[in-house]
Amino acid sequence: MSLRFRLIFASACALLALLLGLSFADRVRADAEQQRNDAIARYGGEVVSVVVTSGHLEAGDVIEPQDVQLRDWIAELVPEGAVTSLDDVVGRQLCHATAKNEVLTSECFDEGDDLAEVPAGFVGVTLPVTDKLGIFRSVTPGTKLIAYEVNKDSSRQIGDDIVVISSPAAAGAASGAQVAVAIRAADVDKVLSANAAGKLSFVAPASDVRSQDVGSATGDGDQSGSASGQGGETGARGGAPEEIKDGERPDAAVGSDGAGDSGARTSAA
């Protein structure tokens, strides 16, 4: 078998394989079209392409291209406001969790234009959400927070009654995850300074916990220790014998217990 014959035979086989592949692809497309037509006939309506999720997504997740796909859906069964283009969802941030194969709608990307009103005496502040900040991206407006300045070995409260007025999930994806909070005017400088230094952290107390009670156990322990120290100092001063004046009996300078009294008499003897 000559080399020329082998080359011609190999080329013919490659061409045949290509034709078979194209034929198979055409058959697959024909089957898909037939299924679509059967669905239209079954439900009596048109089929539209909508964007569905490829897997479970959490609130605050920024959608990546692999997170979504286009899928044919019966028009009569498509939810109101369904998104029909991948470009309309990629790069945007979800405001609530979604399940796999869920049709995405405009409500999934509620921009939250209506922010909660800033209370009187408070200042609205927008902060970037970081791991140190202690806020979940799914935190809801109205949540009350307490601000702390956290150092290496200690922390101190720098603001209370802080209210979330915009969820991080409602912020635009272009600016990253951010949270808008209402802070007392007197605490704004301390909170912003701690945030700039990377020392700001929030905690969310329950409704039955007062801000002044948070961390009070440590404070009581310090006060107790201080009081104990003061008591020890007083006891030391009380236990010290006073100077004996001329003409007074030595045993007049007695301690607070019998042992001190006995010791004074023995010394005088």
pLDDT digit string, tens, across residues 125-177 = 888 888 888 887 777 788 889 999 999 888 899 988 898 887 765 444 434 57
What local confidence, expressed as pLDDT, does residue 115 receive? 56
Q: Which fold has domain 45-110?
A: Type Iii Antifreeze Protein Isoform Hplc 12 (3.90.1210)
Closest CA to 168 of 63, 114, 95: 95
What local confidence, expressed as pLDDT, does residue 152 receive? 86
Residue 24 has pLDDT above 60, yes or no: yes
**In this structure, what DSSP letter does residue 67 have?**
G
> What's the rounded Cα separation, in Å, for the pair 203 and 266?
63
SS3 14: helix
The verdict on pTM exceeding 0.85 is no
**In this structure, what DSSP letter does residue 80 have?**
T
Give residue 110's pLDDT band: very low, low, confident or very high (50, 70, 90): low
pLDDT tens per residue across span 30-86: 887 777 667 666 666 677 888 999 999 887 788 899 999 998 887 777 888 889 999
Residue 189 has pLDDT above 90, yes or no: yes
What local confidence, expressed as pLDDT, does residue 130 receive? 82
In order of 139, 147, 170, 184, 200, the CA distances from 134 in angstroms are 11, 10, 18, 19, 9
* Token pair recorded at residue 192: 């912003």
Long-range contacts of 227-234 (CB under 8 A, 24+ apart): none
Annotated domain spans of the chain: 1-44, 45-110, 122-213
Pairwise pLDDT comparison (99 vs 45), residue with the higher score: 99
Closest CA to 100 of 151, 55, 152: 55
> What's the rounded Cα separation, in Å, for the pair 51 and 88?
9
What local confidence, expressed as pLDDT, does residue 69 receive? 92
Q: Which of 87-96, 117-126, 238-247 has the lowest mean pLDDT?
A: 238-247
Counting residues of the chain whose pLDDT is more than 70, the rounded percentage is 67
SS3 125: strand
What local confidence, expressed as pLDDT, does residue 211 receive? 66
What local confidence, expressed as pLDDT, does residue 171 receive? 46
Residue 46: partners with Cβ closer than 8 Å, 6 or more residues away? 40, 74, 75
